[in-house]
Structure 1
Amino acid sequence: MSLWQPWSLRELVEELATGRTTAAAALERSRARIRETEPEVRAWVVQDPAPDVASATGPLGGVPLGVKDIIDVAGFPTRCGSQLRADAAAAGADAAIVNAWRAAGAVPAGKTVTTEFAYFSPGPTTNPAVPGHTPGGSSSGSAAAVAAGQVPLAVGSQTAGSVTRPASYCAVASLVMSHGRYPVDGVVGLSPNLDSHGYYAAGVSDLAVAWSALTATPSAALEKARPGRVLLWTAEPIGVVDDDMGEAVETVRKRLTEAGAVVDDFPEEQLVAEVTAAQPVVMAYEAARERAEELSAAGRLSEPLAQLLRTGAATADGDYATARRTIAAASARITDLLMSYDAIVGPAAPGAAPAGLSATGDPALSRAWQALGLPVVTVPGLRNAAGLPLGIQAVGRWRGEDALLATGGWIESALS
């Protein structure tokens, strides 16, 4: 049995709309796949024993949805992957983003595994695309649940690389929304200036179906009929990209050019490296204040999270202000560049998913784009010689998700 069997949201929504299946049948398919694969994948913290798919309204029509366990779902505790929350009471209301997905017709099927408070300490989840390798983090369970075909749609969050990296490792697509696109009410966050919503689906066309439903965007606005203009970012100055991913980036250059795109070299590699270095300063400083209660109980936290909070508490106000200025200056330059291009395209992770489940990989290649608050689509499809997934990320203009999804879909077709 293959664990990696992503379930197309686009196909399911078409089947629901035409009456070829029902919401109840989709839920049973989800439950059957969870029963079959969950003993090995371990993507779920808790499943809803009786989700109300029958009364779901909206264009998604009762699609089962996974929800990362830092996000409130009414009736279920939000445990954040931490022993500090082992006895948490059930949430009294949905988070704002869950309300939005319900309005679109999705129905939460349960809570998915997260690293502790969405930082580095992993849960038990394995990577369905490469069992025994990390699925990435912190949205580990949501990425794995989609990759395994347990649900066709799952939500996560990103503060550094918590959506993009798992998508790259698990060979699925993801969208990180622009910072501030939806409220974060009901989400246990780390960094107000960095936390963003995201979600996973099998491919970019599936992301587009979900976005159309969530935002009432006409589907035609998410389709790109012409070759694009992109900037190719290698991330070379950051110094983490391995040979396999470097070759994948050159494959992207070749295939997009052959498909008719204008592919220019990204001229601000060093600037992005500077923002990459500034992001952890902002993250640690804000996390120490956002999670001050947890800092006081650091002896009961995983060491990576305790160290983050201690580092943030010791960070000088001036260092934080300097990091914020670095990000603001870069934002103006990147915004100007994106006026002439559809996207910045480059590696979504340093390489393939590392072996073992004791760590979640390096988020370095998402840090800058997260600091800048830009939307990011992860495009699956490429693999190394050993068959391990290598994701590509496309970065768009702030609040430019419509255009970015169209470009991401075109890139996906060019790479297939």
Structure 2
Amino acid sequence: MSETSCARAPGRLGDLMKGIVAGDISPSELVDMYLARIDEVQPLAEPWRVVDAEGARRVAEQRTAEARSGALRGPLHGIPVAVKDIIDVAGFPTRCNARMLEDAPPATADAEVVAALRCAGAIIMGKAHTTEFAFTYPSPARNPHNLAHTPGGSSSGSAAAVASGCVPLALGTQTMASVNRPAAYCGIGAFKPSSRLLSTYGVSLLAPMYDTVGFYGQTTADAIAMFEALAPPHVVPAAAPLGGVLVLDDPLIFDMVPAMAAALERMVEACREAGIAVERARSPVPFEEIRQLHWRTMHYEVGRLHTRRLGAGDGISDRFRAVIEEGLGIDDETYLADRTTLQAVRARIGETMKGRAVLWPAAPGPAPEGLDWTGDPRYIAPWTALGGPMVTIPAGVDGSGLPLAGILIGRPGDDANMCALARTVAAAAEVLP
């Protein structure tokens, strides 16, 4: 570990589960190992808002005894997980990195997704840092690959916790680019399901039409496996699998840096060499228009949902106050018209995809230097507006050693089929930093 970097692979989910099942490693040993790593990392990358060492060890003892008797609770039995601090964990405050919530009382119940994690056998290690109310005001977390660079946002601590080797899995949320972009910047895998597929009970919402719980792992396959462990039973593959990859050309992404463009082309060639069908097409709708539709509808919802925060004085940042006020300035008619337009745009883009997934750059380039800005969400936000599942696939590093990534996107409801195709694409094209 250097003075500028604390990145470390946390371990792959499949290997960890095999070790637990075989008795080669116990959940208690895993928890102690990750707690020791947290002690090393926290002063540097600061991914954690709070660590529940005592609670994690107590649960790990129980999971260890169960594993020894062959009574595994589920596919994540004994696996430590970080939870973004806009998601309720019983007994701990949900502070949302907001000054006005510094004295928030402990949550009285788990969020639905946290309860599902416990049922799958996972061990909650603590709460990871988030940007303020999951918008743009940054958290203290830093990018493990270069501590002078942002880890992205808003799920900054969740991505940094995995990329620094503190936990193998983590929960985040996405309203604009908050799962897939931090994964890209930190060089790890992520899966963002279709919008509104999973329950957001117990999640502090930002803009309900878009707010979606997402999943982090060292690899693309790990993030997908975490989603599959928690997915409701009605998430099943469609009769026809996704038939390959579509590379869309659109002016929105013409400003990507050369290293990102080269990484995307390497992914395309790797897919072709693996026998995955790849086609190119121009977008039927300018993605800048989709981005603006997303921006207005999101801000409208932020304004309506968070208007009560305006009375908090300096308990909220000037940035968040400004977005609330901007949202309140958007009238109902504009919002409803934009939602109607989005429905039509989804249909046009879906027709162009025709049973394929789109391969697209995750960002114009690697994580920018500095901690006051969480990076550029433009490439991901329009896809969030379109509502389909989205997977971050690491694609190596640039000349300075910072991670690059592509994203693979399906149509809304394609989640199960996307899991299968994304595993295939990642097997061919994923390059871990």
State whether structure 2 residue 7 is matched by structure 1 residue 4.
Answer: yes
CA distance in 2, matches of 1:269, 1:240: 19
1:157-199 superposed Cα distances (whole Å, 9 cap, x missing partner):
0000001110000000000111111111111111111101101
More deviation in 297-306 or 232-241?
Answer: 232-241
Q: Deviation of residue 256 (structure 1)? A: 1.8
Q: 1:238 to 1:413 in 2, by over 3 A?
A: closer
CA distance in 2, matches of 1:128, 1:78: 24
Contact 2:245 2:278 in 1 (8 A): yes
Aligned match of 1:29:
33
From 201, 209, 212, the equivalent of 1:185 is 201
Q: Deviation of residue 243 (structure 1)? A: 2.7
* Secondary structure of the corresponding residue to residue 127 of structure 1: coil
From 208, 213, 216, the equivalent of 2:224 is 208
From 110, 119, 126, the equivalent of 1:103 is 119
State whether structure 2 residue 412 is matched by structure 1 residue 408.
Answer: no
Q: 1:228 to 1:383 in 2, by over 3 A?
A: farther
State whether structure 2 residue 139 is matched by structure 1 residue 123.
Answer: yes
CA distance in 1, matches of 2:136, 2:345: 27
State whether structure 2 residue 396 is matched by structure 1 residue 382.
Answer: yes
Structure 1 residues 342-357: aligned runs within 5 Å: 343-357=357-371
From 126, 129, 145, the equivalent of 2:161 is 145
Q: Deviation of residue 339 (structure 1)? A: 3.5
1:320-351 superposed Cα distances (whole Å, 9 cap, x missing partner):
1232122111111223333331x111101121
CA distance in 2, matches of 1:123, 1:235: 32
CA distance in 2, matches of 1:159, 1:298: 25
Q: Deviation of residue 239 (structure 1)? A: 5.2
CA distance in 1, matches of 2:209, 2:342: 11
Partner AA of 1:265 in structure 2:
R
Q: Deviation of residue 102 (structure 1)? A: 1.2
Contact 1:127 1:144 in 2 (8 A): yes
Contact 2:242 2:418 in 1 (8 A): no
RMSD of the TM alignment (CA)?
2.1
CA distance in 1, matches of 2:265, 2:341: 29
Aligned match of 1:312:
327
State whether structure 2 residue 305 is matched by structure 1 residue 301.
Answer: no
Q: Deviation of residue 247 (structure 1)? A: 2.4
Q: Deviation of residue 216 (structure 1)? A: 7.9
State whether structure 2 residue 67 is matched by structure 1 residue 53.
Answer: no
Q: 1:396 to 1:58 in 2, by over 3 A?
A: same
Contact 1:285 1:320 in 2 (8 A): yes
Q: 1:242 to 1:295 in 2, by over 3 A?
A: farther
* Secondary structure of the corresponding residue to residue 194 of structure 1: coil
Contact 1:120 1:138 in 2 (8 A): yes
1:21-63 superposed Cα distances (whole Å, 9 cap, x missing partner):
1110111111011011111010000011322123342221121
Q: 1:235 to 1:361 in 2, by over 3 A?
A: farther
CA distance in 1, matches of 2:336, 2:132: 27
Structure 1 residues 144-183: aligned runs within 5 Å: 144-183=160-199
Contact 2:300 2:327 in 1 (8 A): yes
Structure 1 residues 352-367: aligned runs within 5 Å: 352-367=366-381
Partner AA of 2:134 in structure 1:
A
Task: Provide runs of 4+ in structure 1 moved above 6 Å.
Answer: none
Q: 1:239 to 1:323 in 2, by over 3 A?
A: farther
* Secondary structure of the corresponding residue to residue 50 of structure 1: helix
More deviation in 288-297 or 118-127?
Answer: 288-297
Question: Which blocks of at least 5 consecutive residues in structure 2 are unaligned?
Answer: 64-72
Q: Deviation of residue 77 (structure 1)? A: 0.1
> Taking structure 1 as the reference length, what is the TM-score of the superposition?
0.93
Contact 1:130 1:170 in 2 (8 A): no
Contact 1:71 1:95 in 2 (8 A): yes
1:90-144 superposed Cα distances (whole Å, 9 cap, x missing partner):
0000001111111111121100000000000111111012221100000000000
CA distance in 2, matches of 1:298, 1:181: 35
Contact 1:266 1:344 in 2 (8 A): no
1:60-88 superposed Cα distances (whole Å, 9 cap, x missing partner):
11211100000000000000001010000
* Secondary structure of the corresponding residue to residue 83 of structure 2: strand
CA distance in 1, matches of 2:291, 2:107: 35
* Secondary structure of the corresponding residue to residue 133 of structure 2: helix
From 90, 93, 100, the equivalent of 1:77 is 93
Percentage of matched positions with identical amino acids = 38
1:250-285 superposed Cα distances (whole Å, 9 cap, x missing partner):
222222222222211133264433211110101110
* Secondary structure of the corresponding residue to residue 146 of structure 2: coil
More deviation in 383-392 or 179-188?
Answer: 383-392
Contact 2:192 2:390 in 1 (8 A): yes
Q: Deviation of residue 228 (structure 1)? A: 5.4
CA distance in 2, matches of 1:14, 1:348: 32
CA distance in 2, matches of 1:237, 1:44: 34
Q: Deviation of residue 234 (structure 1)? A: 4.2
Q: Deviation of residue 367 (structure 1)? A: 1.1
Q: 1:345 to 1:238 in 2, by over 3 A?
A: closer
* Secondary structure of the corresponding residue to residue 79 of structure 1: coil
More deviation in 129-138 or 147-156?
Answer: 129-138
Contact 2:193 2:390 in 1 (8 A): yes
